[in-house]
Amino acid sequence: MLLSQFYPALMVPGFILALLIGAARVLLGVHYPTDIAAGACWGWSPPAGAGSLGVALMRILYGVQATGNGHITRARVLLPALRAVGIEVDLLLSGRAPEQLFNMEGFGHFATRRGFTFATSSGGSIG
């Protein structure tokens, strides 16, 4: 419950939401109960007394659609918060050529890929 480390008031509502989602996943037949139990143990371990073991083992590949600035702006806020608690984050940007990206110093090392763009019949694009 990484979120509860930043927003303690969300711990109980977050726990209830996670419980409901876990139950729904079992009822829909897309997960076994043991999958949900293992995920709950892993998710609960850092704040519940396992120290930073869960966070220390975490490595995230964070993909950002870079055709506009909204997703990049969100990443500018989220990346420092994840890194501040010791999570290793690899950043992958797609949809914009690297030379068209600006103010990227705060991201450190990142990779880019061309990505997909869909053209509409009116000549616009959906990134």
Predicted local confidence at residue 123, as pLDDT:
62
Q: Mean pLDDT over residues 47-69, rounded? A: 68
pTM tops 0.75: no
Residue 9 has pLDDT above 50, yes or no: yes
Which long-range contacts does 40-46 make (Cβ < 8 Å, 24+ apart)?
43/1, 43/18, 44/1, 46/1, 46/2, 46/5
pLDDT of residue 74: 87
- What average pLDDT does the chain have? 79
Give residue-wise pLDDT tens across range 91-127. 988 888 888 888 888 888 898 888 765 666 676 555 5
